């Protein structure tokens, strides 16, 4: 049963992200981590939404970048046609 969770978590995460830089071992660990609550007699903290939200918040705060990832909003993007002064044309001209 543990292999089912580990295997399907990797397949689903690969289908969604398709990132070669992602460490799939951590994905498998996160999928089977709640099984460790068997020691305490059943599902408790690791099966709650609160634990998932707190863990995600901690990971996001610990891994945030100091530099912005995207271009500032006041600078036009080079990929947008209006940024270069081009106009949309309808029809053959």
- 90 within some domain: no
- For residue 60, being part of any structural domain is answered with no
Whether 63 maps to a domain, the answer reads: no
CB 13 within 8 A of CB 5: no
Let me know if residue 51 belongs to a domain: yes
Question: Using one digit for the tens of pLDDT, what is the confidence trace for 41-75?
Answer: 888 888 899 988 998 899 889 888 766 555 555 55
Residue pair 61/67 in contact by the 8 Å Cβ criterion: no
CA dihedral 75, 78, 80, 85 (to 10 degrees): 90
Total-model pTM: 0.54
Considering its fold, how many domains does the chain have in total? Answer: 1
């Amino acid at each position: 049963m543990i292999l089912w969770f580990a295997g399907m978590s990797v397949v689903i995460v690969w289908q969604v992200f398709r990132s070669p830089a992602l460490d799939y071992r951590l994905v498998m660990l996160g999928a089977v981590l709640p099984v460790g609550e068997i020691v305490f007699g059943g599902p408790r903290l690791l099966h709650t939404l609160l634990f998932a939200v707190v863990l995600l918040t901690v990971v996001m705060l610990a891994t945030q970048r100091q530099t912005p990832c995207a271009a500032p909003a006041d600078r036009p993007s080079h990929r947008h046609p209006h940024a270069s002064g081009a106009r949309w044309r309808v029809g053959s001209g």
